[in-house]
Structure 1
Amino acid sequence: MKACTTSLESTVKAAMEMLGTTSSQLQGGGGDYVWATTSALPRGGLLPRRDRSAWGYKAYMVSLSGRHEGPTVSMLAFCHFDTSGWNPMHPAFQILNTHPGGSTPVCHFMSYGNLAFVKKAGTA
C-alpha cells in the first residue's frame, strides 16, 4: 500500500491505516514499518511507503551518547539485508566494498526531517 500525502496529519493517518493505532517505543528490531520522505516530491509532499522485514529490511532504535557522558539521543536506523535489486553503482557498495546481493547488510540512520512509523515486533 502506498499513499501520497501533503501534510503531517494525513501522513500519520495513512501510517495508522497501514500499521494500526497502538503506540509504543521500539526496542530492538521491528516488524512492519512505514517511512516517509520529501526528497522526490514538490511542494513539501510526503510519500509514505510500507515495507516488511521479510523483504530484507529491519528497523532498529539506536542510542548514541556524546563524549564524556554527553547527551544521549535515540535514532532510527534501517538495515537492508537483501540488496540484490539495487543499482550496482549505489555509493553504499563502494563504501562497504561489496555488491548487490552480497552478504554485507547496508544500514543507515533516518535522515533528519524524514518520518518512520514502526509496528511493534510480534504484532506485525
Structure 2
Amino acid sequence: TKHQTDRVAEVLKRRKKSAAAIHGDLPQSRREKTLQAFRDGELQCLIATNVAARGLDIPTVSHVVNYDVPETPEEYVHRIGRTARNGAKGVARTFITPEDGQFLLEIEKHIGLLLEEEVV
C-alpha cells in the first residue's frame, strides 16, 4: 500500500540507506524526480507500489524485494522481471507467512521452478 511504501522507505533511511518511495498519491513531478535520482545512483533503494512500478524500465536494478505477496503468479513474474535485464544477474526475495504457502506452490507451478525457502 501507499502507506507501507512510505513506512519502509523511512525505516531504511533510519538505517542509513538512501531510499525513497513512489506511489500514486505523489505528484507526477515528484515521482519522476525520484525515479531519476534512483537511475542516477543517488538512491540505493526505491520502494514502489504495484501501480507505480508498472512500466518502469531501470536496467541497473539488481535486487527486487517483495515486501508483500503479489496477488497472482503473473504479478510475481512482472515484479521480479524488474531485475536481471539483458542477461545480467539479479536477486528476488519475497516475504511470506505460513498462510502464504499455497501461493508459493502456485508460483513454482507457473514458472516451472522450485523456489528456495529461507526462514528469517
Q: Which has the larger radius of gyration?
A: 1
Q: What is the TM-score normalised by the length of structure 1? A: 0.29
**Which fold has the larger relative contact order, with Cα–Cα distance below 8 Å and residues 6 or more apart in sequence?**
1
Structure richer in helix, relative to its length: 2
Structure richer in strand, relative to its length: 1
